[in-house]
Amino acid sequence: MHESTLEFLICPKCLPKERPLKLSGKRKERGRILSGELYCKACKSAYPISQGVPVLLPAPKGFDRYENPSYLANYFYLHYADLLGQEAKDILFYEGLVEGSDTFLEVGCGPGRLTLEMGRRFTLAVGIDYSFSFLKSALRLLRGKALRFGLPLEGDLAIPISITPPEGWQELSVEFIAADAHNLPFPKDTFGSIASINLIDRIQDPLAALKEMERVLKKKGAHFLIADPFSWSEEFTPRSRWLGGRQRGPFRGRGIENLRRILEGDLNIFSPPLGSITSGEHTWTLRAHENRREIIRSLYLKAKR
């Protein structure tokens, strides 16, 4: 991380109080802090900076399916296939939908490609994800290093792949931070543009995450982009917290319609509400192995205030 990013970071455990973090024991390389510790004086929590990535998770991590090497390989392939000579516009589809130019936050950035590309356009582009493995590999690419992995072929067989980053990414103002979408480690009113792609059906409490995005989104002149396949599953989200796909309750009916109402001011979460809402869809393919691919349709809403 860059030392200047410290100004944007607060302790995720002390929320809703905004407590600053103090940096110690830093080791720097080419302007980037690669290791060190961030400390909250108020609650006495220490957060490591590991391989250049601040790990600001409120609780120690349990098992995360996205840390599995096959998942990582398939998701990196999804984000960076164009750099492997493949024709793929999966995550890059959203590049043209993100608006703004000052501060960008991607909530659930996964392998980080959208955040990286936004670094070309924004003064600061921050990608957060729960999965440290995604972030350390994305940062490796950002620092100009090639990324090698085995793309699942069949059973234990894998195709060796190497992603070579294009020139110039090192110079970008990009940060990758391990953080939880339910406890964003940033002060209120920080980001002029937020995007969250394919996250809200994969977390414990989608409504709490939306409240957090609202908290850190600027009150004026802000842009918001959210996309999801609304693939509700109790594996990730208790049924009572699904934002759609229910027959009864406050979020009965379709998730995209409920989400639109929330952005428009329903439940008083987005205040002031978002407007100028446009919608659309994007179909993408998630690889499992050479002979198995899942076709997924994500619906998006793009809004501003």
Residue 10 or 81 with smaller CB distance to Zn ion: 10
Q: Are strands 223-228 and 193-197 parallel, antiparallel or unpaired?
A: parallel
Report the nearest approach of Zn ion to the CB of residue 22 (Å).
11
Binding-site residue total for Zn ion (CB under 5 A)?
8
Q: Per CB under 5 A, which region of 42-50, 152-160, 216-224, 275-283 contacts Zn ion?
A: 42-50
Selected range binding Zn ion among 10-18, 135-143, 242-250, 286-294, rule: CB under 5 A: 10-18
Best CA proximity match to 61, nearest among 132, 137, 134: 132
Residues of span 246-265 touching Zn ion by CB under 5 A: none
> DSSP characters for 166-228?
PTTGGGS-EEEEEEBTTB-SS-SS-BSEEEEES-TTSSS-HHHHHHHHHHHB-SSS-EEEEEE
Could you say which residues in the range 101-130 bind Zn ion, by CB under 5 A? Answer: none
Contact 293, 285 (CB under 8 A): yes
Binding to Zn ion by CB under 5 A, coded x per residue (else -) over 217-246, reads: ------------------------------
Pick from 207, 213, 76: nearest CA to 131? 76
Contacts of 249 (CB under 8 A, 6+ apart): 240
How are beta strands 103-107 and 193-197 bridged, if at all? parallel
Secondary structure letter of residue 92 according to DSSP? G
The stretch among 11-19, 111-119, 130-138, 228-236 that binds Zn ion (CB under 5 A) is 11-19
Stretch in the footprint of Zn ion (CB under 5 A) among 4-12, 82-90, 240-248, 265-273: 4-12
Q: Taking a C-beta distance cutoff of 8 angstroms, is the pair 207, 243 a contact?
A: yes
Give 123's Cβ-side CA count (13 Å radius).
10
Question: Among 27, 28, 43, 146, which residue sits at the site for Zn ion (rule: CB under 5 A)?
Answer: 43
* Closest C-alpha to 88, from 98, 75, 104: 75
Of 9, 10, 40, 109, the residue at the interface with Zn ion (CB under 5 A) is 40
Residue type, 37: E
Closer Cβ to Zn ion, 11 or 184, answer by number: 11
Closest approach of Zn ion to the CB of residue 162, in Å: 41
Q: Which residue in 1, 9, 10, 11 binds Zn ion (CB under 5 A)?
A: 11
Which one among 1, 8, 13, 287 touches Zn ion, defined by CB under 5 A? 13
Closest CB to Zn ion among 115 and 190? 190
Q: Does 42 bind Zn ion (CB under 5 A)?
A: yes
Q: Smallest distance, Å, CB 20 to Zn ion?
A: 9
Q: Which residues bind Zn ion (CB under 5 A)?
A: 11, 13-14, 19, 40, 42-43, 45
